[in-house]
Amino acid sequence: MATTSKTLWEDVLSRGVQEVVAELSTEDAVRLSETYGTHNYKPLPVNVVRGDGVRVWTSEGEEYLDCIGAYSAVAHGHLSPFIMDTIRRQLDRVTVLSRAFYSSEVGLFLKAVCDFTELDMACPMNTEAEANETCIKLARKWGYTVKNVPLDQAEIIVCSDNFHGRTTTIVGFSSEDKYKKHFGPYGPGFKIIPFGDLEALKAAITPNTVAFLCEPIQAEGGILIPPDGWMTEVRRVCDENRVLLIWDEVQTGFCRTGRRFAWMHEPAAKPDLIAIGKAMGGGALPVSAAVGRREVMEVFQPGDHGSTFGGNPLGSVVAIAAMAEMEVKGYSERSAQLGDRLADRFRAFNFSCIKEVRARGLLVGLELDETVDSAAMTHALLAQRLLTKETRKRTFRFTPAISITEDQIDEMGDRVERALASL
């Protein structure tokens, strides 16, 4: 490994980045990350150097099943051939322009994402937090310019155990202390109610309420699924009070739950705005968007909002390819069938420590009771060559690539069973 900045740069230019990276051991990767990177993550002790579908390999050649799929971002599996070919072909054309110009790729992306979401207009961004921030800005401006809420008095209702991102605005309305402590002061304008509680939503609404922002299923919160019919009733309450309904489908969207989007399990729960991302980037690039009804989206005027990289040609063609592969290859149906197969396998386990299995499509949570050391369970899974981590509430999340096969689902079930037995 190069020892000085000068020789590192020369080494990279003469041999290539990949060739230099290939010489790093796991110990090198850990040391560099821990020395030069902030410690806002606590990675598993695995150095992944290659991926293919649902499988990944370490620098030592060990093979693992990736059960977390970058928190639902790698829905197509690692290195989808069609998406990788799309990237290679675009690299010979144009990659980044900014929105200062028109782009054929961006134009087609905007149409594709509106068709896929069944909504009218889109504002492309990069990260998922940006998509949610964009929805917040849209809802507030709509409230002031359309609903006539007094300036700077707009209120947005959110749910406890939410996860919408890590910006200072968003962590300000988190109910998780470790996400928000020491990052204040926080902006006003948000009310927190219990997730899945319709009466609490009704009670929280005032004349200044402009929106209800919620995940249809709380993935980060522990794969928490609301009661049947709740989303439909939320839509009705919002309509009765002229409140925008915003679904955050960053982790639940793009076929993860057995539908294109989780709200589509209850078709009457169609949102006014939706925040999307992760899987739309095809496991290759950060691509996100706020998408919504024309009446809401048209409140943005030139200069109101922007992003240098949001809506770039390279990201656009990747997202178009990602959505096309999902639709043509029946990802919604695959997710529903394979998710049921995995959840049924978990429910058939004969372990008293299993508290509950919660699943909707290939969004599967295995909750263990207090008798199990969750850190020990993580290491037991690693010993069985499975990569995943627990969410809140002692729930281990299984969100593998939707391109996974039945045999690989069964193999995953076998390895989880052995991990539990080892404890």
- Round the average pLDDT of the chain to a whole number and report it: 96
As to burial, measured by CB atoms within 10 angstroms (0-12 exposed, 13-18 middle, 19+ buried), residue 354 is middle
Could you list the beta-strand ranges (E) of 111-243: 121-125, 155-159, 190-193, 209-214
Long-range Cβ contacts of 347-352 (<8 Å, 24+ apart): 349/416, 349/417, 349/420, 351/420, 351/421
Mean pLDDT for 227-244 is 98
Residue 161 annotated in active site: no
Domains and CATH numbers, the chain: 1-36 (no CATH), 44-73+330-422 (3.90.1150.10), 83-328 (3.40.640.10)
pLDDT digits (tens, 9 = 90+) for 346-380: 999 999 999 999 999 999 999 999 999 999 999 99
Identify the pLDDT of residue 311.
96
**Is residue 5's pLDDT more than 80?**
no
pLDDT digits (tens, 9 = 90+) for 177-213: 989 999 999 999 999 999 999 999 999 999 999 999 9
Given pLDDT bands bounded at 50, 70 and 90, which one contains residue 19? very high
Mean pLDDT for 70-86 is 97
Residue 278 annotated in active site: yes
Candidates 64, 56, 62, 60; CA nearest to 25 is 60
> What's phi and psi for 51, nearest 5 deg?
-140, 150
Cα–Cα dist 293/117, whole Å: 11
Candidates 389, 410, 411; CA nearest to 398 is 389
Comparing 39-48, 137-146, 312-321, which segment has the lowest mean pLDDT?
A: 39-48
Cβ–Cβ under 8 Å, residues 76 and 83:
yes
CA angle 207, 213, 219 (to 5 degrees): 155
Mean pLDDT for 244-263 is 98
Residues 66, 161, 248, 272: which is the catalytic one?
A: 248
Identify the pLDDT of residue 393.
75
Identify the pLDDT of residue 6.
67
Cα–Cα dist 231/269, whole Å: 6
> What is the side-by-side order of every strand in the sheet holding 386-387?
48-52, 55-58, 63-66, 386-387
Identify the pLDDT of residue 22.
92
pLDDT digits (tens, 9 = 90+) for 292-306: 999 999 999 999 999
- The SS3 call for residue 312 is coil
Given pLDDT bands bounded at 50, 70 and 90, which one contains residue 1? low
Could you list the beta-strand ranges (E) of 25-173: 48-52, 55-58, 63-66, 121-125, 155-159
**Is residue 4's pLDDT more than 60?**
no
Structure tokens at 402: 């939707």
Candidates 109, 52, 102, 108; CA nearest to 80 is 52
> What is the side-by-side order of every strand in the sheet holding 354-360?
354-360, 363-368, 395-398
pLDDT digits (tens, 9 = 90+) for 148-188: 999 999 999 999 999 999 999 999 999 999 899 999 999 99
- The SS3 call for residue 48 is strand
Identify the pLDDT of residue 288.
98
- The SS3 call for residue 11 is helix
Candidates 268, 270, 9, 271; CA nearest to 131 is 271
Identify the pLDDT of residue 392.
82
Residue 82 annotated in active site: no
pLDDT digits (tens, 9 = 90+) for 382-403: 999 999 999 987 999 999 999 9
Residues 141, 195, 278, 396: which is the catalytic one?
A: 278
**Is residue 106's pLDDT more than 60?**
yes
Cβ–Cβ under 8 Å, residues 423 and 414:
no
